[in-house]
Amino acid sequence: MKDENYSRKVIPFIKEEYFKTRSDRIVYQMIRDHILKYNSLPTQEILSITLDERGSLSEQDFNDSTQLISDISQQVEEVDPSWLIDKTENFCKDRAIYNAILESIEIIDGKSKTKTKNALPEILSDALSVSFDEHIGHDYESDADNRFDFYHRVETKTPFDLDYFNRITNGGIPNKTLNVILAGTGVGKSLFMCHHAAACYAANKNVLYITCEMAEERIAERIDANLMDITMDELKNLPKVSYDKKIGRVLENINSKLIIKEYPTATANVQHFRHLLDELKLKRNFEPDIIFIDYLNICTSSRLKSGSNINTYMMVKAIAEELRGLAVEYDVPVFTATQTNRTGYSSSDVGLEDTSESFGLPATADFMFALISTEELEENGQILVKQLKNRYNDVFSNKKFVVGINRGKMKLYDTDNSEVNLIGSNQDDNAGVGVGYDGHNFEEKFRSNRDKLRQLKVI
């Protein structure tokens, strides 16, 4: 009743049920209705008249409301508006949670006529999400300065240790994004994620690796081989003393944490991941800079239940949307993977149409690329990367390129400029690459170029 700016900011978020007494609810309702109808603050006289005109009030409610109007109409000292809004927001949160708990108890006791126990998660979630969001849109004229600052703001990114991946992403993966690897079985989806997880960890990034496929120890084994620069066979035969020395050297300059968490296949969804993130923050003071989920198709949806006449298109799309929502909520990039379909498995030129189960996944992802392996590439210790979708850069720039791969050490590496490391006729000749490619008959062109280089004794 005393501060119009305060009233306009908080009234959209305050509900009558937040007030404990009936008189509080009656008076608040009158104040709110007057502001919404007349676009002005009510006076003590206006509230008194409105109260007189209200019917169906008991004598006790009328007297309590009259006394309350008199009390709140007294002159008050000015207070800091930011403090007042914060206190009001806390009040709304506390009351929302309190009311939600009471309602939940009523449902559990079987006293609710309209809701079942299935409604409990939504009731509590709604209560916990109460907040004052004052942003109601971007004003093109008044927000011009903010827009300029946005254009020139340095975006937080997680870089790769591979040159061409940094080129095609303009320096790395931004936060709040979903990034997807498409590959056939055994091509290298987990290898890529383990390599990038190890690279991020070595660059002092906090890494959370969630596996729904392999055991935690198997993922850690791959990352060990990568960071120690030894093959997995050598790792298994390493004496304890040597192992301790190598681990010591790996951890010497690392101040970050790498957490690997395993979930059974087809049982975990983003709600499990949220709970894990909250527990890690509480128990280990750990907040990830990047999250790897291995892999999307063997997660479940928190919204759609499998076996409930939901097709795979809707299911996989729902999982992708939920994972991207997780990335936005925790302000981190999320990396995951998906399988190719039967056609893509035997193809040397995989496209978006080769995504298994759902085309809704490419529609949701921010960045998506395919890993392709052929006998010729394997002979040369290389793997082909093809961009499929890219919101960070021109998807047709560096459309295809190869990187070196050492499967024994679970490592990827940049190939030398003397090798055939970039494929595509739209590339800059100064990009430090040797042979152009027009996009057709890849295997034939690759063999021809390789044979020419061998004749020149380059490889």
- Asked if 307 and 383 sit in the same domain, the reply is yes
Query: Which letter, b or e, does each residue of 332-358 get, where b requires 16 or more Cβ atoms within 10 Å of its Cβ?
Result: bbbbbbbbbeeebbeeebbebebbbbb
Closest alpha carbon to 33 in 17, 53, 11, 48: 11
- Asked if 118 and 161 sit in the same domain, the reply is no
- Asked if 46 and 109 sit in the same domain, the reply is yes
The answer as to whether 443 is a domain residue is: no
- Residue 323 has what pLDDT? 93
The answer as to whether 107 is a domain residue is: yes
- Residue 425 has what pLDDT? 37
- Residue 448 has what pLDDT? 59
- Residue 427 has what pLDDT? 41
Amino acid making up residue 137: G
- Asked if 114 and 249 sit in the same domain, the reply is no
- Residue 449 has what pLDDT? 58
The answer as to whether 173 is a domain residue is: yes
d(CA 34, CA 50): 9
Cis status of the peptide bond prior to 392, with omega within 30 of 0 = no
- Asked if 192 and 334 sit in the same domain, the reply is yes
> What's the number of domains the chain is made of?
2
> What tens-digit pLDDT sequence spans the chain (459 residues)?
888 888 888 888 888 899 989 999 999 999 989 988 888 889 889 999 998 888 788 889 899 999 998 888 876 777 888 888 889 988 998 998 999 999 899 889 888 888 888 888 888 877 877 777 666 677 888 888 888 887 877 778 899 999 999 999 999 999 999 999 998 888 889 999 999 999 999 999 999 999 988 889 999 999 999 999 999 999 989 899 999 999 999 999 899 999 999 999 888 898 899 999 989 988 889 999 999 998 888 888 887 776 666 777 788 888 899 999 999 999 999 999 988 866 655 566 776 776 766 677 888 899 999 998 888 888 889 999 999 999 998 888 888 899 999 999 999 998 864 344 555 434 443 333 333 334 445 555 555 555 655 555 444
Alpha carbon of residue 334 to chain centroid? 5
- Asked if 346 and 405 sit in the same domain, the reply is yes
Any idea what the CATH number is for the domain that residue 203 is in? Answer: 3.40.50.300
Q: In the beta sheet, which residues pair with residue 208? A: 259, 291
- Residue 152 has what pLDDT? 79
Please identify which residue in the block is written with the tokens 């004496």: 239
Handedness of CA 181, 183, 185, 186 (dihedral sign): negative
Q: Are 103 and 114 in contact (CB under 8 A)?
A: no
- Asked if 192 and 303 sit in the same domain, the reply is yes
- Asked if 120 and 167 sit in the same domain, the reply is no
419 burial class (0-12, 13-18, 19+ CB within 10 angstroms)? buried
The crossing angle, in degrees rounded to 10, of helices 22-38 and 59-72 is 60
pTM for the structure as a whole: 0.65
- Residue 426 has what pLDDT? 42
- Asked if 162 and 114 sit in the same domain, the reply is no
d(CA 262, CA 214): 8
Give the residue from 128, 144, 172 where a domain finishes: 128
Cβ contacts of 267 within 8 Å, gap of 6 or more: 212, 300
d(CA 382, CA 373): 8
Residue 134 sits at φ, ψ, to 5 deg, of: -85, -10
The answer as to whether 454 is a domain residue is: no
- Residue 396 has what pLDDT? 85
- Asked if 219 and 119 sit in the same domain, the reply is no
- Residue 186 has what pLDDT? 84
Please identify which residue in the block is written with the tokens 């080129």: 167
Q: Which helix (H) or strand (E) is 167 found in, with range?
A: helix 163-168
The answer as to whether 396 is a domain residue is: yes
The answer as to whether 216 is a domain residue is: yes
Closest alpha carbon to 9 in 87, 109, 78: 87
The answer as to whether 146 is a domain residue is: no
Helix (H, G, I), strand (E, B) or coil at 407: coil
The answer as to whether 349 is a domain residue is: yes
Q: Are 344 and 350 in contact (CB under 8 A)?
A: yes
> What residues make up the domain containing 353?
157-415
- Asked if 344 and 408 sit in the same domain, the reply is yes
Q: Are 390 and 168 in contact (CB under 8 A)?
A: yes
- Asked if 124 and 161 sit in the same domain, the reply is no
Please give the span between the terminal C-alpha atoms of the chain, in angstroms, as a whole number.
82
